[in-house]
Each structure stands twice: as C-alpha cells, then as structure tokens.
Structure 1
C-alpha cells in the first residue's frame, strides 16, 4: 500500500508487534512458517517457547505479552478450543481490543470457519467437555461463558480460510496485511522526540512521489553537516518501510567503505536479503549478480547514508555511474544522503531534497526542550535565548548542544557562555562541521576561508573576481562549496554562509597561533587589527584584512606604520558607516602592498595615497567619506582598476587621468562638493557603465568626450546645478538650435540664461545608446531637449526640482517603467507617455545593484519600488483629467508585467510598484475603503489564497513640503505581489503594511505624510484572466482626445451612490460577478499586451 502522504499517530509504546495465539499442533508447520515470514519482514512477534523463561508460571507472562503487543493473530485449528490456555488468551485479547484501538486477525487453519463461528463440530465437543469439567464451579462456568463470547466475537471477524490452499502464498498475503495494519513502527515513538519534523516528512514524501507505484525513483538528500539529514530520513524510513518487500538502511557508507572497501557495503546490503543472513560473498561481481537476481522483482526501499565519494556506491552501478534502476522492482525507492550534491548528480538522482535550517518557532521549541525541559522560555532568559538562537541560525545540532550546555545554569553563567560563544563554537559542533572542510582541495579551502573571513556583504561576482586574481578557479570552486552545502547563494547573488561555518573558518585561521595575529593569513576583528598595528612584528603571512568597523571606530587611534610592512596584502577593507570625524592616526602611511587588489577604507584619513604605492594590480578603490584631495600627483598604471568610489570626499578637487585606467566600469563621485571638473580623458573609458556625480554642486563642465561613451547605462547628475555655466567653444559649436534653452532667442540670451540655469545637457540625438537610468534632478533645467526621446533603452528617468514648463514627447520610450516628475513648479503640461510598456526586457524589474561592491545601506523598501510613476507637487499642471487614464494604464500594465515576468536565474525580482498623481477620491474598484490615518488590512477577506496574485492599495494623502502650506491632496496606488497564508495575523500584516507605505512615501517624496483615506483590493487571477487590454486611447489619434476611463463599479448596482466606509470583499462567484462592470470598463485596455 503506497501513498503520497504519511500520517502520524499517538499509539502507546509496545514491546511486541504481533502476538500469535495458536494450538501446539500447528507449531511445527503452519505457525512455524508464519513466524519465520514475520521475522524476515522484521516484525517482532511473541513466541512462547522462545520468550518465556523456563521455570516461571506461564499464564502471567502470556497475559503480559498480550498487553504489550500491537496486533493479534488467532490461528483457529481443530484442537484450538480444547486448550483452556488458548481460550484464556483469546478472552484477554478481547478485553484488550475493547480498551485500546488494536485489531485481531483470525486465521482458520484446516477448520471450517462456519464451524468455529457456530461453535459446532470439534468446537462443540470441546466446550461440552469444559462445561462438564467445571459444572460444579460457578466461577469457572462464568469463565467458560466468557470464552464462548470471545470465540464468537473473533470468529466473526474477516480473516483467512487456509483449507486446501497453498500455505506459502497464504502466508505471504497474511504478512502483507499485517505490515499494512501495523504501519510504521516509528509511530510508536513519542512525538516529542522530534521537533519540526512533520512538515519536512510530508515534503520529503512528496519528493519521493510515494504514490507512484510503477516507477523506480532515486532521490538525494543534502544539507550542511548537523542539519538533520539522517534524522529526517530515518524517521521517514521507519514510517514507510513496512510497505516494501525489501528494505535496507546502510547507516554510514563512508565508514564501512574505509573499513572494508566497497565489498563491505555490498555485504551489508546482501545481509538484508531473505534467508541470506550467513551468506558468504568473496568478490563484488558475485555480490552484484546476486543483488540483481534477488531484487529484480522486489519492491525495495534502500537508504545509503553519508556517501562521500562516487565510488562508494560502485556496488550498485554497472559500467556507468548512475544507479541501475532496472535491477529493482516497480515502486522501489533509493535514497542517497550526502553533503555533496555533485555525488547526487553523478548518480542520476531524480530530485534533490535540501534540508533547511529550522524556522524560528521550531528552533525555539527545540531549544526550550533542552535548555529548560519545558515547552516555553523562562522569562528571565528570554533575551539571552534570542541571542543563542540568532547565533545558531536554526541549526538543530548547534541548538541541542548549546541548550544542553546551558541547562540548569543561572543568568550570569548564560551571559558568560554567550560571550565565549561570540568568539568560538563548541568543539562537538566544530568536529561535525569540519568533516566537509577537510574533504576540500587546497584551492577550495582557501576560498572557504576567504568567505568565512569576508564581510557578510560579499557577492558572487566579486568572490569570483577576487578568487580569479588569486589564481583559483572560481566558477568550479564556488560550485564545489555550494554542492557541499558550505555556502548558499541567494537569488539576488549574495553569498550566505552559516554563522557556525564562519566560526569554523575563523577557528582554522587562528588554530596554530590563537594569540598571535601577525601570524594569521586573515584578520576580521577590529581589536585584532589594532593589536597588530600597535606591534612591531612584521605580518608576513597576512593577505586579507576584512573588517566591518564598530561604532567606536572613530574614537580609536590607529597606528599606520605596520600597514607599510604587509607585503603580501591583497585586500584591505575597513568598512563602516559615515563618521563625523576622521579616526585618529599615529604616524604616516609610507607605502601599501603592491600586491593589493582591493583597497576599501571608509573615512580614509590621509589627503592622498602613498606616493611609493604602485597600484597596477588594484581592482577596486573604495574610499568614501575620505580626506583625499587627490589620489596622487601625475599618473599611475591602473590597468586592472574596475571600480572607483570617492563619494562624499568633501576635499576632493581632482580625480585622476583616466588614460591609464581603461578598464574602469564604475565611477562614484557623489557628494564631492569641491570637484569642479572631470578630466576629458574619461572619454577613453569604453567599459564605463556607471557614473554617479550626484551632489557635485560645484561641477561646472562635463567634458564633451563623456557623451561618446556608448557603454554608459547609469548617469546621475542630480544636484549638479552649475553645469555648463561655462561651455567650451568646441561644445558650443556642436549644440543644435533645437537644444538651446527654452528662453533663448539668440546667442546672447543663451549665455544670459546659463548664468542662472541649465538648458542643455544632451548634445546630440545619437548619444548613450545603452542608457537605462538617468537622473537630472535639481539641475535647474529650463528645458529637456527632444533628444531624450532617442534614449531607446531608458528605463528610469528622474526630473525632480527643475524649472521647465513642458516636457518632450516620451511615448517612444517603451522600456520606461519609472518616471518621477516632482516639485517642478513651472510644469503646465504632461508629456506624451508610452502607450505600451515592454516589461519583458526591462531590467529594473529585477532590482539590479548599480552601486559598487560595498555600499552604504539604503532602506529595504527603497530598491523595492524600482517601478513606478510619480507626478507630485506640480501645482501648475492643467490636464487633471488625464491623471485617471495615465494612472490606470500604468497600473494595469505593471500588474500584467509583474505577474507574467520570468526572473533570470540568480536575480531577485521586483514584485511591486507605486503610482502617485494628484487626486482626492479613491476609485470604488478598491472595494475595501476606510477613512483615517491607519491602514488596516483584513486577510480574512481573501477568497482564494491560491489564486491571490497580490494586493492593490490606494492612499489619499497630503504633505507639508518644507513650507507651512499643505500640498494638494495626492493619490498613491501601490501593488505588491504576494502570497497571503491563511494563518497570517491580520493585525501584524496591517502594522507592517502601514509602516512600509508611510516609510516609502516619506522617503521618496522627502516629506512628512498624512494619510486621509485609503482603500485596497485583493487582486486575483480572474482580474487578469477575464480582461483583455486593447488600447488606452481612441483610434482617432489625430484628434488627440483621450478616452477617459473610470475605474468604478456600476453605480446602478449601488443605487447611483458611491460606497462609503468599508465595502466588504466578495466571496466565490459573487466576487467575479461584482467585478463584471469593472472588467467591461477595462476590456478596451487589456488586449494587445500579449501576456
């Protein structure tokens, strides 16, 4: 009996699986064969001649054995009723099944079932003899009556009639039924033994496809050491093994292989074959042949635990590496447990189940059971418990070891133990984790140690880059670490290493010289760095310094002489947040290692880099908030430099000559307020994709060569308010008349206008063919040239705080999914926007990181809204009637794109957007509406969780925008793609969502926000599937008339009145019916998206 699901039970613990009640006449034939068949199946049956000690009273032990058995078999034979012991057993069995949920299975052996049920023939004669014998003993006569009732009760149950039938076949059928009735022996174990197991067992059963009985399926189980792979598989094995003809669990394949080669593993497997307990096999060929012969038609369950090498399973492979399925019967399952996914792939598994860490609830439960011997946290230990669990990160072994070590200790002892835990990890845990590390090659070990000691902000592309420069093979090595579950890579490319593995790596680095950091190859702790820099000893082996600075960084004195002695240093990272004061330094920085590839130093305190430093190997210079005036005098070879970040270096007046840095990809000079010009050699950077000049308020000239950079994808000129106040003669000659300032009527007026503002930025129509993101905010622009419409790849355009009154036609920008027009006080007319958004090739939906390797943290919700439309605080706009059509068009298309897009591998998708326009009323399409400041989301109104695409919400708000006057009311429409679980807390979701909405509005609009009213709607698949988008506009484009689309419910249904307050969410078919009018209004918009 196979099933795709597994069930649990609360059966009491029993010693015996089966109690067989039988007369001695069958002991040496039928019953003896039955006991042997049960033994081969691993079913523990009570047998009186074996399990009762000689010289003891038989009756009490028999009765106890009955009580301690899970299932009863009664073999009715001709002489069964003549035995008072058999009848007493039968009566006691009936008492047991009345008081507990156990079953009796009758077998009629060479006796007619009717004769037993009606108590005729031999049974009638037997009971007549009992009555005659006990006729003068009233108590005994009552017992005889009990026997007859018990006999009648059991004989009338469904069972087997063995008359004139092959005993072997009948016994096979009986044993099969017994195994099904018994179910998994695991169910007899107390459920409290395991935590967080039920959901995992169901998931694993699904991966095994237990319901498919016509295929042989091989599944791999992987996960980091100590995560619970064996515990999980052993629990499943005990639950389902009774369903298989042959079952075998080889516990430690690697140890068996080391001790006695592959033949030893093969012998373990052979020992589970029926009647082969003492089988002698001297070579693998014979053993393999025997396995194929015996298992070809058997439905088998085989588990190979702790497989470390492909060759360890050679016993079960032929001339190829994949497991031979054809030697097993249909419905068989093979499970391979390994820490290395490559082994699983080599053996051709059908699927891999990755055992994940425990969630917080299960981790807390497991911790409490071991630390407090309760199901709850003792209040005095609540914060300490949270810290322990944060360190363990759901690792079951770590939680059990740590919790057990803390059991019975007081709060002070807990705090002391936690202080030690921050520095090192229990040896018991380390020994388990180190197994995987010791199995790595040298280059993979180095990569592992790099990651363990790196900042937690490191990403895949930079690890590959760093490892390649160190002479490793990054793509191969990285995959090895992933396969062995030593690291994981998130969908947006971040590298995750468990805290315990990080501690292991740091322990290995310090292992030989724990108190001598100058002997280490890597340093990650700030205190260790200070100790090293204050010592006169030369750190000859040091290659990596990777430190995220503490808050006290700027309060410490740093001695810099030792930095000049680190001749092998390849990375120096002193990363922190902005410091209001530079840290104190003692001494001069005479030199840096010429082997240095990454120099990452927040608040670098010197005015330049050391003159003796030869940076020809440098890949990244990341020196934000530095004291630098210029990097160095003259030129330096920078052939390998890819990323340059001098952002917020207030004293920077000159960058560098770019002719020696032709591989530069990223330049970030944000907030360099003293910078006045960019060297014209920037035009030689044919690989430059990112240029950030935000806040360079004294930058006056952009070199014309910049506009020839065809590779540039990101350009931020926000706050560059003095640009082009002095245009070069060469640049003036290239300015097209159509690109002059809006107020310009002559050359003289052109010059005058530039004394106050910029009217020119884009010198030709063929520039920036790859430009994706352009920020021209606060540039004092009087006009945006028409050439901007030729930026065919443009996805994001920011035009905040400028002085133009009109905008050019933007309808050709089909990839534009983010447009921000805010605080443009002179703007009177909205531009023509794209009729159709092509989101399929729009990368902004995938949240790319345009900043360099290490960046200052931004709010999580900032990058989440990479798509959107913001038309805010433009008081002179006169086309208010267009807002509804624009808003609706963008909303519909964005939802369609988000719900249909397929995220590229390794990229985190953006599944939300926001639209802000002037408006004071909420459309009734948002069928839950409220007044007030707090946003309440009712998850109970969700009709169908599986078909819920997301939530669309609408907020009417006002702001105080740096003035005493209120800005007019605006509407903000949000959409978040999500899956709401039925057990989510409505209140919790409400609070979270409210905080996110308000925080996002405040951040984006740079204003305090006051919510006036709000509404929301759960969006279902039917909202999209029942609608077709054709066009947002009338076919008469020549008339320039827009079709005004109301997103309203049919007012006839509401008696011509708009709903006030909350409108309850519809359920079932009513939900679809209530949307019919909305859909009719939307149908003209939903057709030609092709989604």
Structure 2
C-alpha cells in the first residue's frame, strides 16, 4: 500500500481489515502524528517506511504485536520522533534507518533483540546522548553509522559494548563528528572491520595497539581530530579475506580506501623526525598494494607535513616543483609493473593571493577543490581528494597526499593525457612527484620502513613538459571538459560484483512488492 506524500493524513487507518498487507509506504506524510497500534498485527508486513513524517512523535505497535515478517523499517527524517518503538515484536528486522531524527535522545533497549539486523544508521541524530548496552548482542550487524551524533560524547566501553563474540561481523563503523572523548579499547575485537571513520572527534589518543589488530582495515579516517596527539599503531600483514564491503554494498566501488590524517595539528607537532610520517604512510601503502582486495582501482593517503619542501622524501620519484603539466611520451609495460604512485606536497591557505600561476589550468566548473588531473582533448579524468579542505583547517597547514593507481587504470601511459595537480586558489601546490611501481618494489618499500635507503633510482618513464595552453589553444579555465572519475573502466569482475551488491540492496528496498 502506497500512501506516500499524503500531506493531509493525520492518523493512519485501522489495518485490521487487510491482515495480509506486505508493504506500507507512508513516507512524506508530513501531517501524520499517529500510527494506529493495530499495525503491530500485520504479520505479513515486510516493508514499512515512515521517512520524513516530520510531525510523528512516537510509534506504538500495540501490546500483542507480531511483526515477524518485517525486514525493512525507514524512520529517517522524523524530526519530532522522541522515542524509538519497542523492537521486540520485529525480531527479524534486517535494515533500520533512523537518520536525522533530531529530537531523539535515546534508543530503546529492545534494539538488542534485533539479532538479524545487518544495517543500522542513526546519522545526524544530533540530540542522541547514549546507545544502550544491548547493542552488543546484535551479532549480525555489518554497518553501524553514528556520524554527526554530536552529543554522543562517550560510548559504552569495554566488553559491555564490544566483546570477542559481539558485533563480530561488523564491517563498517562510522563514529565521525560525535565529539567522542574516548575510543573504546575493545574496538580491537572487531576483526572483520574494513572501514573505520573517526574524524572530527575530541579524543586525545587512541589505544595504541587497538587498530593494529584490525587486519582487514582498508579505510581509516582521523581527520579534523584537533586534540589528537599521537597516532595508533597500524595493522601489518595481509588479510586475504578482505574486501567484503565491496561485495555487499551497492556503489561501494566508488568509495575510496585510504588513510586520512588531515588537519590534526598536534599530531604534526609531535612527529619526532621527518622519517616518522612518511614511514607511517609507507606501511599502509605496502599493505594495501600487497592485497588488492583491500581497494578498487586505487587508494590514497593524506598525512601532515611539518618540514620544508626541500625535504620532500621522494628520492625514487621524478619530482616537479609547483604546478607543471607533464605528459608521458615513453613507458614500456612489462609484466611485473603493477601501477603508479603520485605524491604531492600542498598547503591550505584560507587567504590566498588573488592570482597564482599554479591555478591557471583549474576548471572553474569543477566540483572538486583539489584533484589529480589527466586531461585529454575532450575529457578530463580526475582523482579527487575525498576531504573537505575548508572545514576548520589550520591556515597554511601543509600535508603530503600520496595516490596509488593500479595498472589497469593507468590510461595516461598510452593516451598522451596531460598530467597535473589542480586546486582551488586556497590550495597551494608546492611540489609533486611520480613513480612507477613494480612487484619487486614492495620489498624495497619495506626496507625504507626499516630505515634502509631505496636501492635504486629508476628512470623508466620519459616525460615531456606541456605548455598550459594546448589542444587548439583552448583555455581550460574557460572551456570545461567532460570530467570522468579515474575508475571509469569497469572490468567484467567489477561488473559482476556490483550487480550482486545491487541485487542484495534491491531485495531489501523492494521487500513486500
């Protein structure tokens, strides 16, 4: 039954006359204040959406409710919802979306009864103060999103929140912008975790070895943690079973893997020497390259840099100062070549000069404030920075951005594309470099981590400098080109993986049809 956008519906009807109802869509019923309690008797109901019912205060399923078929419940955008329903009668729920319920302060303890739940999101529930301890028995949960829960300053710590047998299937955990004062030490027990977002929190440190246990971790974001003083130990070794996130989440191929430590001023101040940040990032670089299941197409790393441009640590790179445009004119693709690494030293300046030669090739139509560009006559492939460079950043803060692109997506070695880093005027490009990567380089990179020099300075790529005005003298600042992401090439394997992930998502979205 589709009653969506019935703007004058104040109370739902008595559903007792249609006991076999499987799908009920009440989304957008902005005047709805009450759901009839007999809804709890709909034993065949599979899908229930109350999305954007802005005047709904509570939901009561009745004393004798039995929603044993219910798999999907949408409550997002119910801005006046103060309490969640009693979930015990909906024990087979698999997907629960409570995003943007800004009046919600707590979640009913009965949520622990949802042993089949795989997806739970309370994103932007800005007045949510606590999560119940019962969350620790939700053993099927794969995604937990609490981003933007500004008053959730602490989570239940230790084994009341996470234990070796609890949340054992969790793959995605987003605790960003929650004002957290502590990171649960027991986070180390989430051995299946692949994506962990902790950006924008207030903790001073992370339990040193808690992250190192997470061998499947491919995404770690610590950006905008202004009080963070020290970095945690990163995982080492290879987890062959990684990459499940890409297999179960539709569109996940476009979600970048990486390590992000941006705008963490105290971390930069506490680096003991210049080798520390670079070797820290090398560990992540090597681990992901060794196990391609960790990423799709490529990944990147952003770390703070407190030293001058003259100490740019890339002896094995071809290095270019400022913002030149180059083109590969010769490169031999041998069997053991696996990809390219780009590194750029950049500075964020809130008050840039009006004119800067390093930005003249930046397209005004671009939605990306900073990106690596591969520009051809009619198109521009881009690898953009997946961070907001304008949120509370320290003026004139300098960072190192490292990008790895796998072999099959290095179209530029044949296309003659013009390669450059481009950015808004507040992004100053200081110096950048490029290096090809071969299988044998993995051991060499490991030696660099152990303070041994890179054994050779390979010169296998020939470049030409390109004039900024090219392609029939067209100015890219005034004639924007078609922009496509660097990962536009989709292999048969990628397509099959994406189709399977979409099928799983649609099975829930269309439940009851």
- Equivalence map 1:845-864=2 (5 Å): 846=246, 848-849=248-249, 864=254
Root-mean-square deviation (CA, aligned residues, Å) is: 3.9
Cα distance in 2, alignment partners of residues 1014 and 583 from structure 1: 56
Q: Secondary structure at the match of 1:822?
A: coil
Q: Does 1:956 align with 2:345?
A: yes
Give the drift of 1:648. 2.6
**Contact in 2 for aligned 1:924/1:1049 (Cα 8 Å):** no
Q: Give CA-to-partner distance per residue, 1:540-581, whole Å, 9 cap, x none.
A: xxxxxxxxxxxxxxxxxxxxxxxxxxxxx5xx496xxxxxxx
- Equivalence map 1:658-697=2 (5 Å): 658-697=87-126
Cα distance in 2, alignment partners of residues 701 and 964 from structure 1: 29
Q: Does 1:1065 align with 2:493?
A: no
2:451 — aligned with what?
Answer: 1044
**Contact in 2 for aligned 1:800/1:821 (Cα 8 Å):** yes
1:884 — aligned with what?
Answer: 278
**Contact in 1 for aligned 2:163/2:189 (Cα 8 Å):** no
Please point out which of 26, 40, 53 is paired with 1:626.
Answer: 53
Q: Does 1:841 align with 2:241?
A: yes
Hey, which of these two has a bigger chunk of helix by percent? Answer: 1
Give the drift of 1:680. 1.0
Closer, same or farther: CA 788–616 of 1 in aligned 2, 3 Å: same
- Equivalence map 1:929-948=2 (5 Å): 929-932=320-323, 936=325, 938-944=327-333
Give the drift of 1:673. 0.9
- Equivalence map 1:543-582=2 (5 Å): 569=1, 572=2
1:443 — aligned with what?
Answer: none
Moved over 6 A (4+): none
**Contact in 2 for aligned 1:590/1:612 (Cα 8 Å):** no
**Contact in 2 for aligned 1:845/1:867 (Cα 8 Å):** no
Closer, same or farther: CA 890–632 of 1 in aligned 2, 3 Å: same
Gaps of 5+ in 2: 351-389, 464-513
Give the drift of 1:967. 4.7
**Contact in 1 for aligned 2:215/2:235 (Cα 8 Å):** yes
Give the drift of 1:634. 2.9
Q: Secondary structure at the match of 1:650?
A: coil
- Equivalence map 1:438-477=2 (5 Å): none
Cα distance in 1, alignment partners of residues 446 and 335 from structure 2: 30
Cα distance in 2, alignment partners of residues 966 and 719 from structure 1: 24
Please point out which of 829, 851, 870 is paired with 2:260.
Answer: 870
**Contact in 2 for aligned 1:819/1:870 (Cα 8 Å):** yes
Give the drift of 1:1008. 6.9
Q: Give CA-to-partner distance per residue, 1:201-242, whole Å, 9 cap, x none.
A: xxxxxxxxxxxxxxxxxxxxxxxxxxxxxxxxxxxxxxxxxx
**Contact in 2 for aligned 1:868/1:913 (Cα 8 Å):** yes
Closer, same or farther: CA 964–619 of 1 in aligned 2, 3 Å: closer
Closer, same or farther: CA 942–644 of 1 in aligned 2, 3 Å: farther
Q: Secondary structure at the match of 1:938?
A: strand
1:823 — aligned with what?
Answer: 224
Give the drift of 1:767. 3.4
1:518 — aligned with what?
Answer: none
Cα distance in 2, alignment partners of residues 696 and 765 from structure 1: 28
Cα distance in 1, alignment partners of residues 441 and 447 from structure 2: 17
Q: Secondary structure at the match of 1:958?
A: strand
Q: Secondary structure at the match of 1:715?
A: strand
Give the drift of 1:970. 0.8
TM-score by length of 2: 0.67
**Contact in 1 for aligned 2:37/2:62 (Cα 8 Å):** no
Please point out which of 160, 173, 187 is paired with 1:788.
Answer: 187
Q: Does 1:597 align with 2:22?
A: yes
**Contact in 2 for aligned 1:927/1:1064 (Cα 8 Å):** no
Q: Secondary structure at the match of 1:872?
A: coil
Closer, same or farther: CA 844–707 of 1 in aligned 2, 3 Å: same
Cα distance in 2, alignment partners of residues 658 and 634 from structure 1: 11
Of structures 1 and 2, the larger Rg is shown by 1
Q: Give CA-to-partner distance per residue, 1:838-892, whole Å, 9 cap, x none.
A: 1x21125626317xxxxxxxxx7x8524421111111112125321112112112
Q: Does 1:813 align with 2:225?
A: no
Closer, same or farther: CA 700–1018 of 1 in aligned 2, 3 Å: same
Cα distance in 1, alignment partners of residues 167 and 9 from structure 2: 47
Give the drift of 1:814. 1.4
Closer, same or farther: CA 586–864 of 1 in aligned 2, 3 Å: closer
**Contact in 1 for aligned 2:103/2:127 (Cα 8 Å):** yes
Q: Secondary structure at the match of 2:266?
A: coil
Closer, same or farther: CA 928–711 of 1 in aligned 2, 3 Å: same
Q: Give CA-to-partner distance per residue, 1:275-325, whole Å, 9 cap, x none.
A: xxxxxxxxxxxxxxxxxxxxxxxxxxxxxxxxxxxxxxxxxxxxxxxxxxx
Give the drift of 1:931. 1.9
Give the drift of 1:660. 0.9
Give the drift of 1:1047. 5.5
1:464 — aligned with what?
Answer: none
Please point out which of 600, 604, 607 is paired with 2:33.
Answer: 607
**Contact in 1 for aligned 2:144/2:174 (Cα 8 Å):** yes
Give the drift of 1:706. 1.3
**Contact in 2 for aligned 1:845/1:866 (Cα 8 Å):** no
Give the drift of 1:790. 2.1
Cα distance in 2, alignment partners of residues 602 and 990 from structure 1: 47
Closer, same or farther: CA 795–657 of 1 in aligned 2, 3 Å: same
Cα distance in 2, alignment partners of residues 660 and 590 from structure 1: 20
Q: Secondary structure at the match of 2:222?
A: strand
Give the drift of 1:981. 5.6
Give the drift of 1:924. 4.0
Hey, which of these two has a bigger chunk of strand by percent? Answer: 2
Give the drift of 1:982. 8.4
Cα distance in 2, alignment partners of residues 591 and 820 from structure 1: 48
Give the drift of 1:658. 0.8
Cα distance in 2, alignment partners of residues 927 and 1030 from structure 1: 17
Closer, same or farther: CA 717–874 of 1 in aligned 2, 3 Å: same
Cα distance in 2, alignment partners of residues 724 and 884 from structure 1: 32
2:66 — aligned with what?
Answer: 637
2:314 — aligned with what?
Answer: 923
Cα distance in 1, alignment partners of residues 432 and 248 from structure 2: 31
Closer, same or farther: CA 925–1033 of 1 in aligned 2, 3 Å: closer
Give the drift of 1:827. 1.7
**Contact in 1 for aligned 2:299/2:405 (Cα 8 Å):** yes
Cα distance in 1, alignment partners of residues 72 and 106 from structure 2: 19
TM-score by length of 1: 0.34
Cα distance in 2, alignment partners of residues 836 and 981 from structure 1: 30
Cα distance in 2, alignment partners of residues 626 and 914 from structure 1: 40
Closer, same or farther: CA 946–699 of 1 in aligned 2, 3 Å: same
